[in-house]
Structure 1
Amino acid sequence: MYDYLIVGSGLFGAVFAHQAKLQGRKVKVIERRDHIGGNVYCENIEGINVHKYGAHIFHTNDKVIWDYVNQFVEFNRYTNTPMALSKGKLYNLPFNMNTFNQLWGVKTPAEAKEMIFRQSKEFSGKEPSNLEEQAISLVGRDVFETLIKEYTEKQWGRDCKDLPAFIIKRLPLRYTFDNNYFNDKYQGIPIGGYNKLIENLLDGIEVETGVDYLDDRDKWNSLAKKIVYTGPIDRFFNYSLGKLDYRSLRFEHQLLELDNYQGNAVVNYIDKKYEFTRIIEHKHFEFGKQEKTVITREYPKEFEEGDEYYYPVNDKKNNSLYIGYKSLRENCVNVIFGGRLAEYKYYDMHQVIASALNIAEKELINE
């Protein structure tokens, strides 16, 4: 008999498992995929750690979380400075003085602010009714048309006029020549890849891969006092209230016989003529000097059965449906729900870890 059976070996499951083991609990982790780590899993190709399920860049302002992950693996000094290709021209991201200079030739913050003010005043004093209006009211029409519109429509598979304003409520505008995408104090990639982080979190813990908890939940429930479930919440309840919507991604990995393809880890492809939204060149996450390189094209898509889950579609309809599922959880006294899928919430990595630590602390102290 286990104290906790943990369903899923991603960040939430691995952190909870580690904390439970520290408290002397008997723990087992089961994983539907044939590897541990969830979406942070890396595959080694020609000595390059390939982020199999999309780019994962760790960043946080929380020193407690930063110190927590660094006890398991050392992080490098990688700083995320993505580029965007639009109409044949490269632009720096996030929107900063380099971007404004590339767009308009302006050289001072005052000139940039004046351009944005002039282009956004058409929506001054109005409550934006959709994403397009929200974006223009924040950054003006040029930035929207050049760097937001087509990329966003590819990402969500919908016209910007049909997307809710809240998706893009805060667009970072930086009136300095600073290409660092994140404002967080701590940022980097685990040296040797994310697998080292997960493996060290799960060190000494029994793990079984290639098994789906929901295929035989009675069997698994009989083995443990409590279940920690990190999968899709609607699937847990057999879609009894209906299916929640997700966006998914398809990845096209390519090994190239050259040492440097694009000179940057992340390049966004804005134009709709490219079906993919960005190209990742993985070796740049770890300053690699390998003779070959691996690139990944990222194609967004509507979730279909058999796809991997990525982004919850947190519009009014889905949020309302999730509230219904959340109420069903109250009857599951021996199940702990956590993580992006079980909570139907977009989490960054540091937020998942913080959530797992908080839930583990409450659970293990109160048990």
Structure 2
Amino acid sequence: MKYDFLIIGAGLFGSVFAYEAKKRNKTCIVIDKRSHKGGNIYCENVEGINVHKYGAHIFHTNDKKIWDYVNQFADFNQYINSPIAFAKGNFYNLPFNMNTFYQLWGTKTPIEAQRKINEQKAIFGKENPANLEEQAISLVGKDIYEILIKEYTEKQWGRKASELPSFIIKRLPVRFTFDNNYFNDRYQGIPIGGYNTIIDNLLKDIEVKTETDFFSNREYFENIANKIVFTGQIDEFFDYQFGALEYRSLRFEHENRDIENYQGNAVINYNDAKYPFTRIIEHKHFEFGNQKHTIITKEYPEQWTIGKEAYYPINNEENQQKFEKYKVLAQQQKNVIFGGRLAEFRYYDMHQIIASALKKIKKEFNEN
């Protein structure tokens, strides 16, 4: 065999695995069907602005080991994620906090805001919510649900909130402080120079082939390495024999604007159904840019079909049952390691992807 590991997918999981395997003196080749490395965290530098090509990515974690690990590969700025929602003609701060409650009701103290939410929960909430709509109202009341959750969620998932399972919203962050920091994590920021800095440093001196599809020449690729690390769709690996798992897809429209500042914030959600996109991202604000122009991206949720890019796994009961069957097949593969969002059919944040890759490495090399 020419290599110790063939790693399919040059995203964060595959890149971390490749870096760690090389550190252990193993030979690796990384392939990716896209024209670039980095998977969904890839940034394209357009006239000095790092454009998050596949949606906003903000690194955040409470795990100091993971934070220290990723800081080996890039310096991070002090960006704090403070998105804004535009709904029913007004701007609202996110996550739901004292600013939001003042914007909704004019409440000025935590006690007033808590009372308002509790009143609505008592009138409209359900003891055993049967769907997402009932679950959300039972958590935060009717006003927040109808103005800030309902239409955004229905756009995102492509179906009515009353038809979505309640477990999608297990909890909703509600803060009775004037704090617009979306994440509670201790460590947060954007890598200076974009996420490509991290990927380039992880894959330094490792053979990488882009525009290379494993499935177009499967027999060849299965015979060039002792082991395969697969980060693609697990159902595709097994030829969809139990049927395709379901995802939501996304479409991005990037626009160059000849103005210095388009919206004054990196992320603004557009909650109302009349807007077909869910949010507008203004990329320069991630790195505090002062360029004379700007680049925005409108993000459109879409129905997923085989061949489209899969973004969010739909983890309903039917899909989970299907996935468990694929998981059994995966466990029977002695020379294939499955890892990442698509191979594990679960939503991962970036710090979780890194932790998962490091865990798989330790298991592979029998390390404690």
Q: Counterpart of 1:299? A: 300
Inter-partner Cα distance in structure 1 for 2:135 and 2:88: 23
What amino acid is the match of 2:278? Answer: T
Q: Counterpart of 2:94? A: 93
Q: Counterpart of 1:20? A: 21
Q: Counterpart of 2:178? A: 177
Q: Counterpart of 1:320? A: 321
Q: Counterpart of 1:10? A: 11
What amino acid is the match of 2:166? Answer: A
Inter-partner Cα distance in structure 2 for 1:242 and 1:306: 14
Q: 3-state SS of the aligned residue for 2:209?
A: strand
Q: Counterpart of 2:59? A: 58
Deviations 1:117-162 (A, max 9, x none): 0001135561100000000001000000010000000000010000
Is the counterpart of residue 216 in structure 1 residue 217 in structure 2? yes
Deviations 1:145-192 (A, max 9, x none): 010000000000010000000101110000000000000000000000
2:125 and 2:141 in contact (8 A); partners too: no
Q: Counterpart of 2:342? A: 341
What amino acid is the match of 1:168? Answer: I
Deviations 1:245-286 (A, max 9, x none): 000000000000001000000000010010000000000000
Q: Counterpart of 2:194? A: 193
* Bigger mean CA offset, 217-226 vs 357-366: 357-366
Q: 3-state SS of the aligned residue for 1:299?
A: strand
Is the counterpart of residue 110 in structure 1 residue 119 in structure 2? no
Inter-partner Cα distance in structure 1 for 2:285 and 2:146: 29
1:20 and 1:364 in contact (8 A); partners too: no
Q: 3-state SS of the aligned residue for 2:286?
A: helix
Q: 3-state SS of the aligned residue for 1:226?
A: strand
Q: Counterpart of 1:276? A: 277
Q: 3-state SS of the aligned residue for 1:214?
A: helix
Q: 3-state SS of the aligned residue for 1:356?
A: helix
Q: 3-state SS of the aligned residue for 1:225?
A: strand
Correspondence 1:129-168 to 2 at 5 A: 129-168=130-169
Deviations 1:295-350 (A, max 9, x none): 00000011123321100000000000000100111221100000000000000000
Gaps of 5+ in 2: none
Gaps of 5+ in 1: none
1:269 and 1:276 in contact (8 A); partners too: yes
1:228 and 1:336 in contact (8 A); partners too: yes
What amino acid is the match of 1:327? Answer: V
Q: Counterpart of 1:225? A: 226
Q: 3-state SS of the aligned residue for 1:175?
A: coil
What amino acid is the match of 1:245? Answer: E
2:251 and 2:300 in contact (8 A); partners too: yes
User: What is the Cα deviation at residue 15 of structure 1?
Assistant: 0.2
1:122 and 1:137 in contact (8 A); partners too: no
**Cα distance change, pair 212–102 in 1 and its aligned pair in 2 (3 A):** same
Q: 3-state SS of the aligned residue for 2:254?
A: strand
Q: Compute the TM-score of the two structures, normalised by the length of structure 1.
A: 0.99
Q: How many residues align?
A: 366
Inter-partner Cα distance in structure 2 for 1:20 and 1:265: 36
What amino acid is the match of 2:341? Answer: R
Inter-partner Cα distance in structure 1 for 2:277 and 2:308: 17
What amino acid is the match of 2:16? Answer: V
What amino acid is the match of 2:122? Answer: K
Q: Compute the TM-score of the two structures, normalised by the length of structure 2.
A: 0.98
Q: Percent identity?
A: 63
Q: Counterpart of 1:261? A: 262
Inter-partner Cα distance in structure 2 for 1:323 and 1:169: 22
User: What is the Cα deviation at residue 215 of structure 1?
Assistant: 1.5
Inter-partner Cα distance in structure 1 for 2:322 and 2:187: 36
1:253 and 1:295 in contact (8 A); partners too: yes
Inter-partner Cα distance in structure 2 for 1:365 and 1:216: 31
